[in-house]
Structure 1
Amino acid sequence: MGVDVKSERTLGLVGSILGLVGGFTGVIPYVGALSGSLSLVGAILILVALKGIGDKLGDERPFRYYLYSIVVAFVGVILALILVVIGVLSMANASIAWGEPLRHPMGYFGAGMLIFGFLAFVAVLIIGVYFAKQAWEAMYEITGVDAFQSTAKWLWWGALTAIILVGFILLLVASIYQIIGFANLPEELETTPMNTAS
């Protein structure tokens, strides 16, 4: 028996496009707040789409994993920013007091916080992308749309190589495959034993 996922398909497609546009416009000065809003709206639309598909097919894995990735990314970025701000302020205080930040223990503390902030950001990126990868692999399993499997693959390799900048190109490829995945998603899906695996 088929289930209608037309509205979820549309929500996922629009959300994926908004996420991609938000990622691109984030580098334009004075547009950062708008891009953050676009990315947030896109992520919410994708979550709603995955929730609807999961409910209709009896498999909550895509929604659950994607939600985990968003929560990890949000909490992790906030933590990383706090560490970076503490580092910058500590180094500034040491610089004001001693003229050179690394001649005072507070300067070393600040440098350490900057390093920890960077490492926390990288760790969060990898953990968040791992959960997103799991979500897209589950989408491939329950829908049979190959582009979702490609999304998972390119997303994972993009996150692992982001430190050498080539990863950002791979993340762009993953975003394009995600859009293709929702565009290729049939308006009606069959419920099969594979769909109901959890």
Structure 2
Amino acid sequence: MGVDIKSEKTLGLVGSVLAIVGGFTGVIPYVGVFMGTVSLVGAILVLVALKGIGDKVGDDRPFKYYLYSIVVAFVGSVIAMIFILVGALSISNATIAGMRALEHPWGFFGTGMLVFGFLAFIAVLVLGVYFAKGAWEAMYEITGVEEFQKTAKWLWWGALTAIILVGFVLLLVAAVYQIIGFANLPEELEPENRVLMEP
């Protein structure tokens, strides 16, 4: 007998759409704060969907990995932004003193903080995506929906190439595959849906 996951499918689909809309419009001035909240709500809906599916099939990996991804992304981004803010303020102090950034101790310190903050942001992105990749690979194993495997693949390549900016396009592709994955998710899961991953 199949396991009913109709409500989880709907939650995951709505959450994925909100996450992509909020994530890619969050950079617009004045709209960003609201859309950032929309993106967070979307991520929480996806998390609830993964929790429901995991509970019903007895496999908590999708929920656990996705939760790790959200926590790492949130905490890491806050820390990276603190470094970047400290760096920007330090460079500003050096500029007020009438010196070039690297000629003033505060400017040198600020430049270092900016570089460190940027590298920390990239490191957090890669680590967060590593956990998200695990969640979508587990979803592929549980459901047999190939789009979840493609989500994992494009997420990983997007994170690795984010430093040259093309990665953000690949992350968008991954987000679209995530939406398609939930759209193609059956309303009932049969035990034979599970896929054995190659070692």
Q: Normalised by the shorter chain, which TM-score bucket? A: over 0.9
Q: Contact (CA 8 Å) 2:8, 2:52: kept in 1 or not?
A: yes
Counterpart position of 2:23: 23
CA RMSD, 1 decimal: 1.5
Q: Contact (CA 8 Å) 2:54, 2:60: kept in 1 or not?
A: yes
Q: Contact (CA 8 Å) 1:162, 1:168: kept in 2 or not?
A: yes
Q: Contact (CA 8 Å) 1:98, 1:104: kept in 2 or not?
A: no
Q: Give the deviation of 1:98 after TM superposition.
A: 4.8
Q: Give the deviation of 1:37 after TM superposition.
A: 1.1
Q: Give the deviation of 1:174 after TM superposition.
A: 0.7
Letter in 2 for 1:42: G
CA distance in structure 2 between the aligned counterparts of 1:144 and 1:157, rounded to whole angstroms? 22
- Report SS of the residue matched to 2:30: coil
- Within 5 Å, which residues of 2 pair with 1:46-61? 46-61=46-61
- Report SS of the residue matched to 1:126: helix
Counterpart position of 2:14: 14
- State the Cα deviation string for residues 51-92 of structure 1 (Å, max 9, x = none): 000000000000000000000000111001110111111122
Alignment CA distance shift 1:121-1:49 (3 Å): same
- State the Cα deviation string for residues 95-125 of structure 1 (Å, max 9, x = none): 2235333212221111110110000000000
Counterpart position of 2:111: 111
CA distance in structure 2 between the aligned counterparts of 1:177 and 1:82, rounded to whole angstroms? 32
Structure 1 stretch 153-162 or stretch 119-128: which is displaced more? 153-162
Q: Contact (CA 8 Å) 2:8, 2:53: kept in 1 or not?
A: yes
Counterpart position of 2:164: 164
- State the Cα deviation string for residues 110-166 of structure 1 (Å, max 9, x = none): 111011000000000000001000000000001111110000001111111122222
Counterpart position of 1:153: 153
- Within 5 Å, which residues of 2 pair with 1:1-198? 1-191=1-191, 194=194
Alignment CA distance shift 1:193-1:22 (3 Å): closer
Letter in 2 for 1:178: Q
Letter in 2 for 1:37: T
Question: Structure 2, unaligned stretches of length 5 or more?
Answer: none
Alignment CA distance shift 1:34-1:193 (3 Å): closer
- Report SS of the residue matched to 1:59: coil
CA distance in structure 2 between the aligned counterparts of 1:86 and 1:154, rounded to whole angstroms? 33
CA distance in structure 2 between the aligned counterparts of 1:98 and 1:57, rounded to whole angstroms? 64
Q: Contact (CA 8 Å) 2:122, 2:162: kept in 1 or not?
A: no
**Percentage of pairs with the same residue:** 74
Structure 1 runs of 4+ aligned residues shifted over 2 Å read 94-101, 191-195
CA distance in structure 1 between the aligned counterparts of 2:193 and 2:18, rounded to whole angstroms? 33
CA distance in structure 2 between the aligned counterparts of 1:72 and 1:157, rounded to whole angstroms? 18
Letter in 1 for 2:113: M
TM-score (normalizing by structure 2): 0.93
* Aligned residue pairs, count: 195
